[in-house]
Chains A and B, each alone.
Chain A
């Protein structure tokens, strides 16, 4: 179904072989030409060694996933060739250093592009020369003028000085010329769209969403795959006036965030599941003291240390159950990097209004993926609504009750330093004045009043947050339901199915708690066959959907091998379900690309 240019380049090698640099150079070249990019880096928790495969899909249209195919494989070592040559179909390219890598069995029509790197560069010692020479080959194969690559190399290396630039350009040119003399370029060269695009990772997008929303305090403990948010914040802290702190552990992070937010600063922190586990007590404290804080959990494969560099949607129930007690919170699972960017500003306005914590569930696929984005879509001036916040003296000399039992349950929130509003916030249950009721006389009337006051705050939530809607074919024979980061890959799977004549639609759920139970029930009431797609083993979202709506799905497509869905995994699952060929109701696709 895909129209126009749609090409995936995979760069494979061991950690430490310098995969990131050619990846960055290519990414910049693509987005400057206005082409869309969706890149997924499959890696391991190792600094040197192992096997890394960076898949970069470049497309004339928006790329909602990293796709199904590899059209050009750049092998930086023999291992990459051995593992992945068999994935190349007719017309695909394998680019490699012929000095030390030998191709094996391959399909007919694969272009084997071996480079005599030592001969080309005259330097047997420079281990990175093969990477640069390969960029020359790739530029030629893609039908680019050498000058395009030359300017990209200049930009990449200019900070290292003229000598580094010119030696890299010379090596790349040798690769380019060798390729011109020996290899066949693509029949349809890399196109050019009129408007250049920008490039970001999902973690950049989360951090930038925070910056746009006015986050002025960010704290974290490093944890993959959330650390990119900390890096962005630290790098931009001085320019944007954001207080960024690295804390001793995630317990400290979450509590420090609560303290900072109490002063009136918009405050955010990010971690992954293990760190999130440590944060949970403080999340409940934010709810009890009615202090708005955004907690981001970038999910990775668990349980426990799990697979730190692999993706999973396994922390839904952890988020739903984070912290003891019965309290109000918002849980939201953005669908892609751009959505994550916009969601942060939206969620800050909600929690400032409702004075409660929010949990944002990202995952490795979104957070560590690299994506193109139209620069004009990066609106860093979203509306900022602080709710009933009192930050300056208003002449009111009191009495002031922090937890005033108002009609909407939302009490005016004064921050420390404001005269006339002195009060204590407490994690113990308290009355309207903030006085503890937990110790001497546990007043059941006041306890009920406070529980109901806090609960009432979210009464108008559904008027402010859009319910998910069914998209796709009317009268579909199958409805695909997903949540969070699977939205894009489900959309592409639908395109494949529709090209085969299957009538299909989808429901992509983003706002998890409070749950749009009525709207979702209504949306799914007409579905002929409902399949739920999740990146976990036990069907966490299915169980949640059933608990909120009573809906039981007709079947499932689940993946829990650490790698994200590719579009054909889902399309294959749908076909198998429609053919009645799924035993036990759960289709689990095979992960063909082993990394």
Chain B
């Protein structure tokens, strides 16, 4: 047996990965990494109990910087892979990390269906409203009019609203954070991990290199924590109304939570009654099972 010394509780430091982040100095992703490390430590999780799944992009390098099992998968596919992980071994805590292009652009289809299925995942989107790793093109969450290398005359497409999209598609825990407020991020992430269903946290994570519009200052002047507004997260209409506000005031915090909806693995009949994960059950089928199958063929 490996000795899991739990006398000394793990701290955020214990969740530091093998390598240091190669993000640009000042990148908003550092704050989310730190907040995630603090959150899992405070929840008493161990690295081997967690799988962190990502796609491709600056923020998708996250698993390499985080000490847990990790899967650095294909661009846009993290949610599909993570669903496979969670459904095959429901005992694992599965985090999914990525960016706005990865999640709302190329991976948009999986976003819709993962929300609808209410897969028990914690999805952390580092939303910088730009394609950073490809050196600055418009993203699905870039603001109207934004000038980028692929929209030199200004973006003519309206941005996606991740909060209302997540709620409308069926996500049962929907929050928004900001890299400038780690305390709030930790609260949101801990709540997301503890929430038994699909939890989405859209995080304003400024790209200090390619996005000159949505900077730390831009957000500092506008963010308004929902905690201070007396918002009721069970009220989806109010959540959507507040999520639509953008210009002068941008709300952060927990917009919506519904704990009544069962997660996908809780609904799955073959996992009824606390069945072990399919990843760890014996492969062989029994002689009786074989005989029943063959009898039906005769």
The size of the chain B interface, using a CB distance under 8 A, is 64
Q: Which of A421-435 contact B (CB under 8 A)?
A: 421-428, 433, 435
Given A238-B269, A255-B74, A263-B85, the answer on whether A384 and B284 have CB atoms closer than 8 Å is yes
**Does the CB pair B69–A417 fall under 8 Å?**
yes
A506 within 8 A of B: no
B10 within 8 A of A: no
A365 within 8 A of B: no
- List the count of A-B residue pairs having beta carbons below 8 Å apart: 220
* Nearest B residue (CB) for A237: B270
B147 within 8 A of A: no
Query: Which chain A residues border B51 with CB–CB below 8 Å?
Result: 416
Query: Which chain A residues border B263 with CB–CB below 8 Å?
Result: none
The size of the chain A interface, using a CB distance under 8 A, is 78
**Does the CB pair B278–A243 fall under 8 Å?**
yes
Query: Which chain A residues border B82 with CB–CB below 8 Å?
Result: 259
Stretch at the interface among A66-74, A82-90, A192-200: A192-200
**Does the CB pair B84–A415 fall under 8 Å?**
no
Query: Which chain A residues border B52 with CB–CB below 8 Å?
Result: 424
Q: Which of B1-45 contact A (CB under 8 A)?
A: 1-4, 17-19, 22
Query: Which chain A residues border B292 with CB–CB below 8 Å?
Result: 239
* Nearest B residue (CB) for A397: B2
**Does the CB pair A31–B298 fall under 8 Å?**
yes
* Nearest A residue (CB) for B91: A417
Shortest CB distance A194–B (Å): 14
B277 within 8 A of A: yes
Query: Which chain A residues border B88 with CB–CB below 8 Å?
Result: 216-217, 243, 259-261, 263-265, 267
Query: Which chain B residues border A31 with CB–CB below 8 Å?
Result: 298
* Nearest B residue (CB) for A285: B74
Q: Which of A186-223 contact B (CB under 8 A)?
A: 196-200, 204, 208, 211-214, 216-217, 219
Query: Which chain A residues border B285 with CB–CB below 8 Å?
Result: 211-212, 214, 240, 380-381
Given A423-B69, A427-B73, the answer on whether A248 and B109 have CB atoms closer than 8 Å is yes
> Considering the chains assembled together, what is the distance between the CA atoms of A378 and B46 in angstroms?
45
* Nearest A residue (CB) for B76: A251
* Nearest B residue (CB) for A252: B80
Given A214-B284, A380-B290, the answer on whether A255 and B4 have CB atoms closer than 8 Å is no
B89 within 8 A of A: yes
Q: Which of B83-130 contact A (CB under 8 A)?
A: 83-85, 87-89, 91-92, 109-110, 112-113
> Considering the chains assembled together, what is the distance between the CA atoms of A373 and B297 in angstroms?
9
Shortest CB distance A234–B (Å): 11
* Nearest B residue (CB) for A28: B298
- Identify 20 residue pairs between A and B in the complex whose beta-carbon atoms are under 8 Å apart, listed by A's number: A198-B294, A217-B84, A243-B88, A243-B270, A245-B83, A249-B109, A252-B113, A255-B80, A258-B81, A260-B278, A262-B84, A264-B280, A265-B277, A267-B88, A282-B77, A391-B280, A416-B89, A422-B67, A425-B70, A426-B70
Chain B residues with a Cβ under 8 A of chain A: 1-4, 17-19, 22, 46-49, 51-53, 56, 61, 63-64, 67-74, 77, 80-85, 87-89, 91-92, 109-110, 112-113, 268-270, 275, 277-285, 287, 289-290, 292-294, 297-298
Chain A residues with a Cβ under 8 A of chain B: 31-32, 196-200, 204, 208, 211-214, 216-217, 219, 236-243, 245, 247-249, 251-252, 255-267, 281-282, 285, 289, 373, 375, 378, 380-381, 384, 386, 391, 393, 395-397, 415-428, 433, 435-436, 439-440
Give the top 8 A-B pairs by smallest Cβ distance, nearest first. Answer: A214-B283, A259-B84, A424-B70, A259-B81, A263-B279, A260-B84, A255-B80, A426-B72
